[in-house]
Chain A
């Protein structure tokens, strides 16, 4: 489906990065963490998040680790994505954050 992107990202394997502000009231609490990890798991790419562009980076596919980040409303979530489907994966997690995990 996204072969053009896939081969490009696959050749370079340079991590894609982007950030988004947490808009939902409660921040990255239990329910949003579950939604985020469910979304991340749909992709083969390695997906990590952090509260700073310098890390420390957390595996976005681990609900336990994502909850431990305890990111509050207004925090900027940084994403770092590596893998053949990285571009679609990054777009999907960013959309989820922008959308307030459907509960803003």
Chain B
């Protein structure tokens, strides 16, 4: 399962709704399998709809891979909070995390598919973003 580049790219799913994030993660696990580090987060700190930076940081840690981590987000705050979380990472990790411009569910499945074949972080991002191409 480990590739020469230090394992498969990790996938993080960030949605305003924890149910959507968890459901998207379920789809990834069932369709793509377990060869990809995967974590999800959703909801604000009070348990309502929203996203929070601490939760996103935790998810990035959980899905960490030396090959990098691709983050899939839904709307507005999910993206800005994810970018904020990336900025809070240690410098050596920051460059290895990307937020993808892709639909959260479809993007997560496609990114994980690409990752499961041992592709680089750039290739994983590119593949997820094909949805908007």
Contact = CB atoms under 8 A, between A and B. Distances in A.
Nearest to B32: A34
Interface in B38-59: none
B111 to A, nearest CB: 10
B131 A42 contact: no
Given A30-B31, A30-B109, A64-B110, A38 B130 contact: no
Interface string A58-82: 0001111100000000000000000
The A interface, classified by DSSP as helix, strand, loop or mixed, is helix
Given A30-B31, A41-B119, A62 B109 contact: no
Interface in B99-113: 109-110, 113
| Chain A: number of interface residues, binned into ranges | 10 to 19
B65 interface: no
Query: A30, A63, A65 — which one has the most chain B CB atoms within 10 A of its CB?
Result: A63
Contacts of B109: 30, 34, 63
The B interface, classified by DSSP as helix, strand, loop or mixed, is helix
A37 interface: yes
A41 B127 CA distance: 13
Interface string B63-74: 000000000000
A37 B113 contact: yes
Contact of B31 (A34, A41, A42, A65): A34
A42 to B, nearest CB: 7
B117 interface: yes
B114 interface: yes
Given A34-B32, A63-B109, A63-B114, 19 more contacts: A30-B31, A30-B109, A34-B31, A34-B109, A34-B113, A37-B113, A37-B117, A38-B116, A41-B118, A42-B117, A61-B117, A62-B127, A62-B130, A63-B113, A63-B127, A64-B110, A64-B127, A64-B130, A65-B130
8 contacts: A34-B31, A34-B113, A38-B32, A38-B113, A61-B117, A62-B127, A63-B110, A65-B130
Interface of A: 30-31, 34, 37-38, 41-42, 61-65
Interface of B: 31-32, 109-110, 113-114, 116-119, 127, 130-131
